[in-house]
Amino acid sequence: MNKNINKHMMRAVGQQLRSPKCEYVREHYYRLMDMGYSKLETKKLLASALLNEMWKVDNLKKKFDEELYMKNLEKLPETPWIEDMRNTVVKEDSIGRNDPCTCGSGRKYKRCCGAKY
C-alpha cells in the first residue's frame, strides 16, 4: 500500500476497533490474533479488507456495503486481493536531488554521491 493510504487505513481500522458500533471488526481482530498474526499484521489484513471495499465505493460508485465487508472479514486471511497485494511491486521512494545524502556526509545528494552520476 502507498504510505499515505496505509496510514489512513490503519487509522480507520484503529477507530473501528475502538468504536462500540463495530463489534464485528473486533471479533475478527481477535480471531486473527489467535491464529498467530501480530498486531500490525492483523491491522494490515483488516485495512486491506476496508481498502478493498473503499475501492469499490470510489471506482465503481457503489454504496458501502457493510454486509459484504463483514463477509470479507470472515474470509481473512485467505482472500484474492491479499494475494494481489503480495505480488504487487511497490516503487520505493527515490532520493531527491535536494535530500541529504545517504552516505551520511551531511551534504546534499546532488553535491555528494549524486554528482557521480
Residues 6, 47: contact at Cβ < 8 Å?
Answer: yes
Dist CA 91 CA 96 (whole Å): 14
Q: Hey, what's the cell of 82?
A: 491479499
Residues 49, 72: contact at Cβ < 8 Å?
Answer: yes
**112: helix, strand or coil:** coil
pLDDT reading at 71 higher than 80: yes
**Structure-model confidence comparison of residues 6 and 14, the more confident one:** 14
Dist CA 32 CA 60 (whole Å): 29
- Mean pLDDT, rounded, for 17-28: 89
Lookup result for grid cell 483488516: 46
What would the DSSP string read from start to end of 29-51?
HHHHHHTT--HHHHHHHHHHHHH
pLDDT reading at 85 higher than 70: no
The model carries a pTM of: 0.61
pLDDT tens digit sequence for 26-66: 998 998 888 888 888 888 888 888 888 888 888 888 888 88
E strand intervals along 3-86: none
**106: helix, strand or coil:** coil
